[in-house]
Amino acid sequence: MKKILINCDDLGMHPTINNGILSVLDKGVVKSASLLPTGQYFEEAILGLKKIGVSKIGVHLSLCAEYPKAPLMPVLSRSQPFLSLEEWLQTPRDLHLCQNEIIAQIEKVEKTGLQISHLDGHMFFYEPAVGGKKLFELVQNIADRIKIPLRHQEGNQKRVSPSIRMIWDDYDTLESRFSFYENLFREDACDFLELIIHPGTPAEEMKKFTNKPERRYADFLFFTDPKLRHNLRDLGWSAVGRSE
């Protein structure tokens, strides 16, 4: 049986995203999610996780953002929201301040009493091809020191992590997104696949911060479909959590 780990990103960013992810997790097939300590709806997400009995969560580290109407705020200095990825990449950064902020984000999640399953990065900011090799090494050193797995593409080359797949710009409509997932489950031949998804609902409310809510709403619909568990099993996939 092939294993698939499905992870929901961006928990804590917005009520619609919290609603979508918590609903997906409550269905039981998807067993992993990543929480933004910098999201404005972090506390609401924590309450929702505890209500549905989730005890493990990933930390979705961030040093940049993408939605001006759903800003992400630094833990250490909440006076100004994070810059967009494009602006952040063009701005000189102090690695010492980056390290302090990342540690503060991890500690914020630790204080909730939830067990941290993994670390990952919003918009892949610490990947060497994005934020540079020094930032990647900084984040990896933090993860190694606290003994929490770090999700990253660099590890795939060393067979440390499973194959990681995520779609975003390529499939905007509900139909095209459904088709992608159905083909992926049917055709992917790897033994261990990690899939990153971005559920959100309702679509009308998401229009307040994004002009393409269909992406997140399609993920919500597909991964709350009651047929999903049976379809995965019939295609030879076993849905697992971080510790399995």
Q: What is the CATH number of the domain that holds 186?
A: 3.20.20.370
Q: Where are the alpha helices (DSSP H) in 170-240?
A: 174-187, 203-206, 214-223, 228-234
Pick the residue with more confidence: 185 or 164?
Answer: 185
Pairing between β-strand 163-166 and β-strand 115-121 as defined by DSSP bridges: unpaired
| Count of the separate structural domains present in the chain | 1
Strand partners, 196: 7, 166
Q: What is the pLDDT of residues 128-170, one digit of tens each?
A: 999 999 999 999 999 999 999 998 875 444 444 567 889 888 8
219-237 mean pLDDT: 94
Does the model's pTM come out above 0.85?
Answer: yes
What pLDDT shows up at residue 157?
42
pLDDT value of position 30 = 96
Return the pLDDT at 162: 61
Confidence label for 195 from pLDDT (cuts 50, 70 and 90): very high
Distance CA 155, CA 143 (A): 13
Residue type, 177: R
Looking at the domain assignment, is residue 145 inside a domain? yes
pLDDT higher than threshold 70 for residue 110: yes
Q: Which token pair is 92?
A: 């000189």
216 assigned to some structural domain: yes
Residue 30 located in a structural domain: yes
240 neighbors 191 (Cβ within 8 angstroms): no
Domain membership of residue 82 (yes or no) is yes
Mean pLDDT of the chain: 93
* Residue 117 reports pLDDT greater than 70: yes
| Assigned domain for 206 exists | yes
Q: Residue 235: which domain range?
A: 2-239
User: For residue 244, is it within any domain?
Assistant: no
Assigned domain for 221 exists:
yes
Q: What is the pLDDT of residues 43-91, one digit of tens each?
A: 999 999 999 999 999 999 999 999 999 999 999 987 899 999 999 999 9
